[in-house]
Every structure is written in C-alpha cells, then in structure tokens.
A and B are shown apart, each in its own frame.
Chain A
Amino acid sequence: MSSRERILGRVRRALADAPSEDTPIERAYLREHGDRSVEETVELLAENLADYRAIVHRCTAADLPATLAGMLAARGSKTVLVPPGLERSWLAEADSEQVPDRVESTPHELDRIDSVVTACAVAVAETGTIVLDGGPDQGRRRITLVPDHHICVVRVPDQVVSSVPQALERLDPARPLTWISGPSATSDIELDRVEGVHGPRTLEVVLVDTQASLEVNS
C-alpha cells in the first residue's frame, strides 16, 4: 500500500465517528473595522505604515517623478532596479542608473544594486501592509527582496482597501504574492526590535494621489 493510501485510510477511519452533516461556517466577523471616509482610510494606511517604520511620502501624480528622484538622490543610490512594466515617466527625473530586471540576473547581481522601485497590487490600511503580486510594474519577487532599499508606489485611493478580507478579495491566488508590513525585522535578541536582518532594511512608501491629479487636469 502506498503511503498516500495508508494516510488517507487512517484519516477516514479516524473520522468514522464524525457525523457527515455540516453546518456552514459562521462568519460573524467584520469585513472592516470602523467607519471611515476614503480620505481617513488613506490616512490610516499612512499612519500604520509609519508605525511599523516604513518611511511614508505623499504626493500628487504630477509630482511623483520629482519625488522619486529626490528620494533616490537623498539615499545616494547609484543604481536602481526597474521592473519591466513600471510606468516610464515615474523615473524620468532620476539620476540613478536604471537597471532593468532580467530573468538571467543572478542574486549576486541584484545584491549589488542600491535601490528598487515598484508599484503594488493593493495596500491594506488597517494593518499597514502593501501587497505585491508580481505584476509587470512590480516584477519578480526577488527584486524587492535582495536590494537593501525598496521604494513602493501606491496609487491612492484606488489601490487602498481597509482590511485583510477586502485585500484577499482583490488578489489572484495563482500569482506569487508578497505581503509587506514595514521593513524586515527581528525581535530574537532579548525581544529588542532590530530592523533588517535579511530583507531590505529600508522601506519607503509613496502614496501618490491619483485623484488630485484628475481634478487638476480636468
């Protein structure tokens, strides 16, 4: 008998006493916590991101290229990794050398790059989380992992949800997903929080207000 059959057989025998009828799961929990306006939800995202030591910036769409250029310059980043589908205009004003992510690039090559700029799939206000799903403007999972500095652009308010349940609804499980809440951290040494053991030590999140730009343009 294969182990598969053995294990399934044991499980079935173990459950022989369990009645087969089933009541549906009681999902009496909330879809979101609190009653907030869109603006308040974005504000909460900013607060919770900062609370977990991400550095938060806010700007309009028109100001985004200048904002990103300024951030990279302030960090002294000579090279910046760019996912294939990143909006080209975003880095138009940046002085850093732009390195496109290629499937062939080795982890060692990625390790030598100073910064990476990506978009995101969704951001969760209540938990201060950004989620990447490997879309063209976010690139492969490794590019936001190996370089020490990650800049993530969140389109506000379209990409912001309140809660974890709302985020899961928007995401496609078939894609590789990475949820990020603040920079890499550990509390393994006497529970003292230390940032950045393995992942990027600095996470900067830019909340770019797409609505404001619409109003300005119209």
Chain B
Amino acid sequence: MSGTFVGMPAFPEAAHEAVGNRTLRANLRHATHTIRAKREKAVAEVSDWAELREAGKQIKDHTLRHLDRYLVQLEESVVAAGGTVHWAADADEANEIVTKLVKMTGESEVVKVKSMATQEIGLNEALEAEGIRAYETDLAELIVQLGKDRPSHILVPAIHRNRGEIRDIFAREMSEWGRPAPEGLTDTPAELAEAARLHLREKFLRAKVGISGANFMVADTGTLVVVESEGNGRMCLTLPETLISVVGIEKIVPTWQDLEVFLQTLPRSSTAERMNPYTSMWTGTRDGRAGEGDGPQNFHLVLLDNGRSDTLADEVGRQALRCIRCSACLNVCPVYERAGGHAYGSVYPGPIGAILSPQLRGTASEIDASLPYASSLCGACYEVCPVAIDIPEVLVHLRERIVEGGPVVREGNKVVLKPAKGHAAERAAMRAARWAFSHPGALRTGQRLASRTRRLHPRSLPGPGKAWSGTRDLPAVPAEPFRDWWQRTNGGKEGGK
C-alpha cells in the first residue's frame, strides 16, 4: 500500500538526522511548547473535562464495536440526502474512485482541504499521474506543497519551516502553480498570509471540484463535519459544484447529539481554542435537503478502509481508531520534540503515528517495525489524549508482537507473524535504544512522568469497555521503562515481554 514515505529510513536513523538539524529542533521546540501551554489553559477552563473525555472515549468505543451497523446507517442517510457513497478497501481503490469521479466532471484541477486521509493514500500523486492537478489550500499545506516537502505535524504541517524559508519558497515557487508572489515579499507573517490569500483565491473562485476529508460523519443524519481555522475548508466545501470527501471508516459518530462532546474537546485539545474559527456541516447535496440551493450539486463520500478493519481486529490496538487527530499527543512527546515529524515516515507522526502506522500498514517494513520503539513510554500522550487512548499500552503490545510474533489480521486475513529475531525489527529496536541513550533528556523526561501515569492506569476498563476487557486483565502497561526493558532483554535479543 502507499503511504510510506518513499525511501524513508527507519525511525532511529531519521530521528538521528533530525536531531542534528538545529533549525528544525528550535522551530519544533518553540511550537510544541507554545501549543502545550495554551492547551493546558483551554482545558482548565472547562470543569467537566474528565467527563467529556470519558464520554468521548465511550462514544468512540461503542461506535467501533458496532461499526458495521453504523456504516450501513451512514450510507443510508447520505444517500437519502442526495449523496453517493463509494467504498474503498485500500489506497489504490480510493485513488481510482476519486480519479474517475474527477474525470467524469471533465475538470483537470481540483481544490483540496487539508485531509490526513488523502495524504495517507497519496491522492495528490495519484491524481497528478492522471493529469489532474490538486491544489492544497490550507496555508501550511500550501507551504509544504510548494516546497516539495512532507508535512511534519498533524495540525501545523509546516511547523518545521521558519518565516524566512517560507518567504523564499513563495517567491520561488508560486508562479509555477498560479499567481506569483507579490514583488518584494518580506517575511512578516501578515504579508506571507496575504500572498497566500491572493494566490489561492484565484483557484477557489474558479474551482469546479473540491476534495476534502471530514472530522466526523454522523450516522443518523448523514451529516459531515469539517473543523478548521482559515476558511479554505469553507471555500472548498461551498463553491465547487462537485464535492468528493474521502473519510476513514472510523470517523463515524452515531448521533447528532454526540457532536456535543467532540466539538468541545477537539478545538481545546488541538489549537487550544474555545472553538476553532470555522466549523462546516453539510448533509448530502443542495437538492437533496433543506437550505435553498446551497453547496455542491454533487456529493460523493468515499469510505476508506486501508488497514482500519485490520486494526479493528486487534483487541488492544483497536483503540487507536478512537483518535480524533487533535495532535495534542505530538506536542507533549519528548521523542517527537527532538526527532521531528518526518522521522516517523508517515503522515501520522508522533505518538499516535507510532501506534497507528504500524497497524494500518503492518510491520513488514523497517520503518514500521521501528515505530513502536519511537517512545520512552512516559505516558504524557495518554494523559492529554481527549479520547483517552492508552498509547503506551498499544506501544508495548506492538513491541511484543514484533519481537515474539503472533497472530494479526492483514487485509482481512489472519496471518501469523514470525518473531523478528535477527530481522529488521530487532535491528531497529537496538538502534532506537542506542538513539534514546544518546539523548538522555528524552529518557529522563519519560521516566519522570512514568510513575505518575501508572497511577492513572486502570486495571480494567470502566464503563462499556468493561465488557470488552472483563475477561482479561489489562497488562500493567507503562510499568517498565524503556531502559529497564532494554537491560532485561538485552535490547530485544532475548525477546522481552
């Protein structure tokens, strides 16, 4: 499947390189610390954060447990509102569907809202190969696209670029793609944003086809929700005649009411705002529902599996599918802060990437086998996660899987992984360890927090999760810091647990 950054070295090497890049480290450190502090304030403002977090977790678990039912219900609601639903088992199929839909419109360019799902499947490249130009319209994505670069953060994908670099990219590349940057462009953020506004407005106003993802899909109403700040999302969802949304099958919430939880937790966890500047919700097409000829005439929803049902089959790992992509876990992760987003070799960087990518893609490649080791198991990611994904638990589980082998599901089929003795994973583990030891700061931060996290870790899941975990004791997860694990197992050579 696509999605691996081509030619990507395994995490430890990539991280090693990134750590050597001082500009990148400084940009990243500034960013993560700023967002982190703001987020704490935004969360402290709501006294029922713990209850919201618990409800969010329960809603997502409940949805995942009945995902087949909710997918069918969602399909019915979207069709009833005038939309068309397509199912894509993997990246190639999703790209084929979208390409065909764009070609049917007769257009050769599309405007895009920032979307993790379309990055995951490499949609822009697939469209390009068919002669269709996809314009990224989010400012950060524009910086990444013009710079022929990779995103490095879920929320602020161009966080690794400073204003001087952005100015140079705009001045050099904008004319290649459309309206050139104004003469004498300086590096003040306001001027750079203005240049982007002019460059992109030209594209919005003539666009006939828009492509988006979605933050949520509501099963009982068929409503899709996109949460954003800039207004490029609103532009792409509103102006084009045809809208194609590519969305992972896990993005469902059962009812309209459920949005009340996530519309409170997502903005505060993500941009640390009470509410993001714009949230757009649409149900079907302009003719299929109420609302005076508003929005696209044609709406296509592409439901994307691409490893999600395989992830769902893993009892411990499936909780990764609760993720609402807020990126809070990135900003608190001592390893991410030092290694940078690119080191994870995937569109999903940071702690969530370390558990999601190896599940979506399998652990056959060296980078994927090394990702579960890209952590000090400090537990900070679990503490900030608004849907309480126990990332350390999944990391330990995946490490075990890699070192000891065992049954997994790949493309719907049960297969048994061989223990990775003497193979890529082991080498990766050793390199990861070497890397962590040569950056004692990462380890120390991890261990300082570890004991605090263990206290928060329940032995069995509360609420409906109880039924799920009732028959098995949850592993006492982050109990073993990385350093101990390394010493006990001689770096994975003895197949540690």
| Chain A residues packing against B (C-beta within 8 Å) | 2-4, 6-15, 17-19, 21-23, 25-30, 33, 48, 52, 103, 106-108, 111, 124, 126-129, 133-134, 136, 139-142, 145-146, 164-165, 168, 172-192, 194, 196-200
Contacts and interface: CB of A to CB of B under 8 A. Distances in A.
A189 B313 contact: no
B278 to A, nearest CB: 6
B273 interface: yes
Interface string B228-248: 011110110011000000000
B309 interface: yes
Contacts of B231: 145, 184, 196-200
Given A111-B201, A174-B81, A7 B292 contact: no
Contacts of B218: 173
18 contacts: A2-B87, A3-B89, A11-B309, A14-B313, A25-B59, A28-B55, A29-B55, A30-B48, A127-B275, A145-B238, A182-B277, A187-B229, A190-B30, A191-B34, A194-B189, A198-B197, A199-B235, A199-B277
A189 to B, nearest CB: 4
A86 to B, nearest CB: 13
Interface string B55-93: 100110010011110011000000001000001110001
A125 B115 CA distance: 30
Interface stretch (B282-290, B392-400, B428-436, B481-489): B282-290
A103 B293 contact: yes
A147 B16 CA distance: 48
Interface string B246-274: 00010000001101110110010001011
B449 interface: no
Given A19-B467, A191-B156, A107 B67 contact: no
B484 to A, nearest CB: 32
B378 interface: no
Given A111-B201, A198-B235, A6 B412 contact: yes
Contact of A187 (B45, B47, B235, B271): B271
- Which of A7, A33, A127: most chain B Cβ within 10 A? A7
Given A23-B464, A184-B231, A199-B277, 15 more contacts: A10-B312, A11-B312, A33-B47, A106-B205, A140-B292, A145-B234, A164-B275, A172-B290, A176-B291, A181-B274, A181-B276, A186-B139, A192-B189, A198-B197, A198-B201
B190 interface: yes
Given A33-B46, A197-B232, A48 B58 contact: no
Contacts of A127: 267, 274-275
B310 A10 contact: yes
Contacts of B273: 52, 181
Contacts of A103: 293
Contact of B93 (A3, A175, A192): A3
Interface residues of B, number: 103
Given A15-B67, A145-B231, A134 B62 contact: no
A105 B381 CA distance: 49
A13 B159 CA distance: 40
- Which of A48, A165, A187: most chain B Cβ within 10 A? A187
Nearest to A2: B87
Given A126-B274, A190-B163, A196 B294 contact: no
B295 A189 contact: no
B230 A186 contact: yes
Contacts of A139: 292
Contact of B309 (A7, A136, A146): A7
A184 B464 contact: no
B464 A22 contact: yes
Nearest to A197: B230
5 shortest A-B CB distances, which residue pairs?
A: A199-B231, A14-B313, A10-B309, A198-B231, A127-B275
Given A6-B89, A187-B271, A198 B200 contact: yes
A141 B238 CA distance: 7
B275 A188 contact: no
A23 B54 CA distance: 14
Interface of B: 27, 30-31, 34-35, 45-48, 51-52, 54-55, 58-59, 62, 65-68, 71-72, 81, 87-89, 93, 137-140, 143, 156, 158-159, 162-163, 166, 189-190, 192-193, 196-197, 200-201, 204-206, 218, 221, 223, 229-232, 234-235, 238-239, 249, 256-257, 259-261, 263-264, 267, 271, 273-283, 289-295, 303, 305, 309-310, 312-313, 315, 318, 409, 412, 463-464, 466-468
Contact of B293 (A140, A174, A179, A198): A140
A29 B51 contact: yes
A18 B468 contact: yes
A176 B295 contact: yes
A199 B234 contact: yes
Contacts of B66: 15, 22
B362 to A, nearest CB: 15
B197 A196 contact: yes
A181 B264 CA distance: 13
A22 B271 CA distance: 34
Contacts of B190: 194
A184 B239 contact: no
A200 B464 CA distance: 44
Contacts of B260: 164-165, 168
Contacts of B158: 188
Given A22-B62, A28-B55, A194-B189, A168 B256 contact: yes
A134 B67 contact: no
Nearest to A107: B205
B328 to A, nearest CB: 15
A200 B140 CA distance: 19
Nearest to B196: A197
Given A164-B263, A164-B264, A178-B234, A25 B58 contact: yes
A173 B281 contact: yes
B197 A28 contact: no
B275 A124 contact: yes
B193 A174 contact: no
- Which of B55, B81, B273: most chain A Cβ within 10 A? B273
Given A11-B71, A21-B467, A22-B464, A198 B238 contact: no
B230 A29 contact: no
A19 B471 CA distance: 11
